[in-house]
Structure 1
Amino acid sequence: MERREAMGAVAALTLAAMSAAARAETMPAGKPPVSKAAALGEAASQCVLDGQRCLAHCLFLLGNGDDSMADCSKAVNQMLATCTALQSLAAQDSALLPAMAKVALEACTVCEKACKQHSMHAPCRACMESCAACIKQCRAFAA
């Protein structure tokens, strides 16, 4: 390869690199905007995750004779059923999603209230906070 050819190749590579860098600078940063259905599905997913931990904690305490966790465990169990369905419908962007969001709003409200009484327990507090976030997303979806 002669010197002229080498210089031409270097110039071409430099130009290509500069062009790619310029395109990268004009592209929007971060993730694309999240749809209302996707945001609702993410909130429901977090509710399910934290709710499963909360329910396991409730069952452990109930098994050790702490009957004060009965209402919390019932509320969490109902929330898990509705948020699991909500999560699935949101992933499909289903026509049934608005109706399910109303049911989940009610279930999360009941669960949040029940978990608030036990917010000194980390799993209950996390579940309460997830329910509050899901309530917010359910309301935003309805708007």
Structure 2
Amino acid sequence: MSNDNFSEQRRSMLKGAGALGATAVAATALGGSAIAAGMDAHHHHAAGAKHLELAKSLHHCVATAEACIDHCLDSFKTGDTVLADCAISVQETMAFCTAHAKLASYNSKHLKAMIELGIQVCADCEKQCRKHEKHASCKACADACATCIKACKAYTA
């Protein structure tokens, strides 16, 4: 394969990956906006404010976690790996809270089972981020986790 063909294939692949990534980001943003506005089409009439508040809290946690991860990556670029454990915990929290928020917005029958685990995942993340709360993004992430914990407890109350 010539370099020109390889370069063209690479450009095409990168364009496709970029479009796919942009679509995923837009879908996530639209889903989060719909939930934040209370306009999710799935079961919100029956789900009520309890589900909406939980979903909003979880989406906020994901957003602050993304900023925290960005900060961790900047730190890693300089060779500083002190935030490595924090980054691992934050990534786990982002994945969990994304799924948890979807279950909340859909009024899933599995939502209550997720609550206890949600409290544990967010508590672990909060603990890691509090160690580095001198950084604004770490503090914001820890605060968002604390809010998620309160929302999870309020859901079961």
The alignment's TM-score, normalised by the length of structure 2, stands at 0.68
What CA distance in whole angstroms lies between the structure 1 residues aligned with 2:115 and 2:49? 15
Aligned to 1:115: 129
Q: Distance in 2 between matches of 1:103 and 1:63?
A: 32
Q: Which segments of structure 1 move beyond 3 Å, counting only runs of 4 or more? A: none
CA shift, 1:63, in A, is 2.0
Q: Rg bigger for which structure?
A: 1
Q: Does 1:63 align with 2:77?
A: yes
User: Which deviates further from its counterpart, 42-51 or 59-68?
Assistant: 59-68
What code does the residue aligned with 2:99 have? A
Equivalent pairs: percent with the same residue?
39
Residue 60 (structure 1) shift: 1.3
Deviation at 1:46, TM superposition (A): 0.3
* Correspondence list, 1:6-85, <5 A: 35-85=49-99
Query: C-alpha separation between the residues in 2 aligned to 1:70 and 1:42?
Result: 27
Distance between the aligned counterparts of 2:135 and 2:90, measured in 1?
14
Contact 1:82 1:103 in 2 (8 A): no
Matched, 1:86 2:100: yes
Q: Partner residue of 2:115?
A: 101
**SS of residue in 2 equivalent to 1:55:** helix
Equivalences, count: 111
Unaligned runs of 5+ in 1: 1-30
| Equivalent residue, structure 2, for 1:137 | 151
Contact 1:40–1:87 (8 Å) recurs in 2: yes
Shift of 1:104: 1.4
